[in-house]
C-alpha cells in the first residue's frame, strides 16, 4: 500500500455498473461511496421505484436494506456494553433467557465472532428456526423455540459457523439484558450508536413501504420483483434488520475508518477490528467483532469487510486496515448498495455484485488495475437470498 491513495474517476465507477444498467434500465440502482483521508463522495447510477411502481429519488436519503452489514452495528453496540462488564467471559447460561440448557456454555462474545457453534444458517437446510413461524416472528417466539428445540450446538470457539441466530440472540435478548435499563434493542442502537454518529437509520419494522425501493431478485440475467424484508424479523433485527441511507453509510464508513472520531465509540475500534478468536474462516480470514479481516497474505491487499444480502437487496462495506485502529485512520474505504440480489461481477466472476464493485474501487484508489477474474474474492456465504 505504498502508492498514494486517489479518488476513483466517474468513468471508472460508471464502468463498474453500466453493463447491469443496460440490462435493466428501469428500477435498478447502485450507490458507491468512497473515502480517503482527504476526500469522500457518493456516486449514484440508475433509478429507483417503490413497491407500487412510483418513482423514488436515488440520492443520499434513499433507504436500502443493509441485511447482514447490520451485524457490524450490533457488534459495536455489544463492544460498548461490554466496557461496563466486570466479567468478560459471560456465557448464555448466566442470563435469564429461559432457553435450553444445551446453550448455557456458549460465551456471549462468540455470538458476534461467528464461532458460537450455533448452526450455519445461511445455506440450504438450515435448522435454527421453527418450521412454522408466528408472524411477526419476535424475540419471545425465538426464545420459546430455543426452550423446546432439539438443536445441539457444536462446541464454541472451535470452528467458523455463520449464524444469524447468534446475532438475533445478541440483539433481541442479550443487548437489553446487558443494558439493564428496560430499553429494547432498537432503542439501545439508536441512542448509543446511531445518534452519536449522526446516523438516521431505522429498522425494517419501522420503514414506510411507500419509501422503500422495490428490490429485484436475479436468476441469471432475469430480474423479478422481490418480497421486501425477512420472515425472521423482528427477532433477527440484530442479524440484518437495519435500513439505512447512503448518507448514513458514509458516516458509518468514516467512523470505522477512523475519519470520524467519537470519544466513546472510537476507543472500540481496536477490539472490533482485531482478531477476537483463534478461529478463522475456511478461506483464511480472521474474525473480528462482526467484521471479517482479510490478511495481507490472503489477497492482493488486506481488508476489513462485511457483506449483506436479503431478498432484493445487496450491500458491502470494506476498508484498508489501519496499523492502529482508533488512533490512525484507514487510508481508503468503500461501500456499495443496490436494490438487487443474485447479480454477480460479470463473466467468470462469481463474486456478488457489491463485493465485486467495492473491491474494484479499492484497487482503483490504490492506483492498481483490478484483475479480470475476481473469483477469489472472499464472501461469507453461498449465493442464496437470505440475510448473510
If one counts the domains in the chain, the total is 1
Residue 190 maps to which CATH number? 3.40.710.10
- Grid cell for residue 243: 435500513
Position 137 in a domain: no
Q: Would the pLDDT of 377 be above 70?
A: no
Q: Would the pLDDT of 152 be above 60?
A: yes
Give the domain range for residue 71.
10-93+184-365
Q: Would the pLDDT of 316 be above 90?
A: yes
Output 373 or 197, whichever has higher pLDDT. 197
Output 48 or 379, whichever has higher pLDDT. 48
Position 277 in a domain: yes
- Residue 133: the pLDDT is 84
For residue 50, what are the CA distances in angstroms to 54, 190, 212, 358?
Answer: 5, 25, 6, 25
Position 212 in a domain: yes
Position 104 in a domain: no
Position 166 in a domain: no
pLDDT in tens, 176-186: 999 999 999 99
Rounded average pLDDT over 340-349: 83
Least confident interval from 122-136, 147-161, 228-242, 282-296? 122-136
Position 43 in a domain: yes
Sign of CA dihedral 110, 113, 115, 120: positive
- Residue 373: the pLDDT is 61
pTM over 0.85: yes
Position 372 in a domain: no
Beta strands 313-319 and 40-46, pairing class? unpaired
Asked whether 7 and 37 are in contact (CB, 8 A), the reply is no
Position 40 in a domain: yes
pLDDT in tens, 51-60: 999 999 999 9
Q: 149, 123, 163, 127: which is closest to 290 by C-alpha?
A: 163
Rounded average pLDDT over 285-301: 94
* Distance from C-alpha of 169 to C-alpha of 73, rounded to nearest angstrom: 14
Amino acid at each position: 500500500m505504498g502508492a498514494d491513495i486517489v479518488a476513483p474517476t466517474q468513468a471508472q465507477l460508471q464502468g463498474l455498473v453500466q453493463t447491469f444498467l443496460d440490462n435493466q434500465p428501469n428500477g435498478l440502482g447502485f450507490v458507491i461511496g468512497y473515502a480517503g483521508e482527504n476526500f469522500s463522495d457518493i456516486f449514484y447510477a440508475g433509478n429507483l421505484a417503490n413497491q407500487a411502481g412510483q418513482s423514488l429519488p436515488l440520492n443520499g436519503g434513499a433507504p436500502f436494506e443493509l441485511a447482514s452489514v447490520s451485524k457490524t452495528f450490533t457488534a459495536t453496540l455489544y463492544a460498548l456494553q461490554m466496557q461496563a462488564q466486570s466479567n468478560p467471559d459471560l456465557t448464555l447460561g448466566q442470563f435469564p433467557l429461559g432457553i435450553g440448557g444445551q446453550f448455557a456454555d456458549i460465551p456471549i462474545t462468540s455470538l458476534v465472532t461467528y464461532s458460537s457453534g450455533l448452526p450455519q444458517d445461511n445455506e440450504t437446510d438450515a435448522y435454527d428456526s421453527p418450521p412454522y413461524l408466528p408472524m411477526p416472528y419476535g424475540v419471545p417466539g425465538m426464545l420459546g423455540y430455543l426452550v423446546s428445540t432439539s438443536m445441539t450446538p457444536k462446541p464454541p470457539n472451535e470452528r467458523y459457523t455463520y449464524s444469524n441466530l447468534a446475532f438475533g440472540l445478541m440483539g433481541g435478548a442479550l443487548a437489553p439484558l446487558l443494558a439493564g435499563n428496560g430499553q429494547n434493542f432498537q432503542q439501545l442502537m439508536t441512542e448509543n450508536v446511531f445518534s452519536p454518529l449522526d446516523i438516521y437509520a431505522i429498522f425494517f419494522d419501522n420503514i414506510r413501504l411507500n419509501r422503500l425501493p422495490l428490490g429485484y431478485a436475479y436468476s441469471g440475467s432475469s430480474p423479478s420483483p422481490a418480497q421486501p424484508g425477512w420472515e425472521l424479523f423482528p427477532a433477527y433485527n440484530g442479524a440484518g434488520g437495519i435500513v439505512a441511507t447512503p448518507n448514513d453509510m458514509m458516516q458509518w464508513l468514516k467512523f470505522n475508518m477512523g475519519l470520524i472520531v467519537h470519544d466513546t465509540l472510537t476507543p472500540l475500534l481496536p477490539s472490533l477490528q482485531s482478531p477476537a478468536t483463534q478461529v478463522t474462516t475456511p478461506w483464511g480470514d480472521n474474525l473480528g467483532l462482526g467484521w471479517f479481516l482479510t490478511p495481507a497474505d490472503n489477497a492482493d491487499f488486506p481488508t476489513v469487510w462485511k457483506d449483506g444480502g436479503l431478498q432484493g437487496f445487496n450491500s458491502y462495506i470494506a476498508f484498508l486496515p489501519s496499523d492502529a485502529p482508533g488512533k490512525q485512520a484507514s487510508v481508503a474505504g468503500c461501500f456499495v448498495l443496490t436494490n438487487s440480489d443474485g447479480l454477480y461481477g460479470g463473466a467468470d466472476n462469481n463474486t456478488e455484485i457489491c463485493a465485486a464493485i467495492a473491491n474494484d474501487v479499492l484497487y482503483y484508489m490504490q492506483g492498481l488495475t483490478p484483475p479480470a477474474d475476481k473469483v477469489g474474492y472472499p464472501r461469507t456465504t453461498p449465493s442464496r437470498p437470505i440475510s448473510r
